[in-house]
Amino acid sequence: MTLDEYMKNKEGVVAIGAASGYFFIGTRDEYEEDIDKIQKRAIASAKEVLYDANARIRALREGGFDPVEVSIYIPETTDPEIMRGVLAGWKADADKLERSARLLYKFIDKYESAIKSKARAESIINAIPYRERQIKETYPSITEDKTNVIVEGEESARFWDKEEFDNDRAKNTKHYAQG
């Protein structure tokens, strides 16, 4: 059953979400008034995230990562005087490798974060519209007089209760009205 089919005759307050949190909390009439605007707002936000993620990936690619080159020379001698210099060189190379490894871990973290952000944003932009999503489950809320509805999707929304959603809705009336 799609979300629209479910909401057609639903009475009372409904909280609708996907992966975590709820992107809508309200009545059937509020659903009809707001759900398309909420979808547009989510897509607009995802487009901003996608732009940022692409910019970060581009910057990381252009910045590159300096190659790490270390050549270990192992002399035939064990003469302490000669080896003192060799060992000092090895330690300097080891320090260089440690610094490069720390930088590489930071580079990896930044790249991984940007790739994950890009993938999440693209999945939201290309997702099935909320109205057409299949319902995975419904159950009564244990904290409020509402029905929780979980639909297919990867979105992590930010609302947990009706008051929180209504406060945001009141602040964004202008934004919602622009649709």
CA distances from 130 to 31, 34, 35, 58, 110 (A): 11, 11, 7, 32, 31
* Residue 135 · residue 1 · CB < 8 Å: yes
Q: What is the pLDDT of residue 174?
A: 47
C-alpha–C-alpha distance, residues 114 and 94, integer Å: 30
Q: Distance between CA atoms of 179 and 175, rounded to whole angstroms?
A: 7
Rg (CA), the chain: 27
The pLDDT value recorded for residue 87 is 94
| HSE-up (13 A, CA, CB side) for residue 126 | 7
At how many degrees (to 10) do helices 80-125 and 28-63 cross? 150
Single-letter amino acid, residue 55: A
Return the residue matching tokens 């974060």.
Answer: 113
Q: Are 146 and 81 in contact (CB under 8 A)?
A: no
**Residue 119, pLDDT score:** 95
Residue 58: predicted pLDDT: 96
Task: Note the pLDDT of residue 67.
Answer: 87
**If the chain, 179 residues long, is cut into consecutive pieces of 10 residues, what is the mean pLDDT of each piece?**
96 95 95 94 94 96 88 90 93 94 95 96 95 97 94 90 89 50
The rounded Cα 122 to chain-centroid distance in angstroms is 10
Write down the pLDDT at residue 173. Answer: 58
Q: Is 138 helix (H, G, I), strand (E, B) or coil?
A: strand
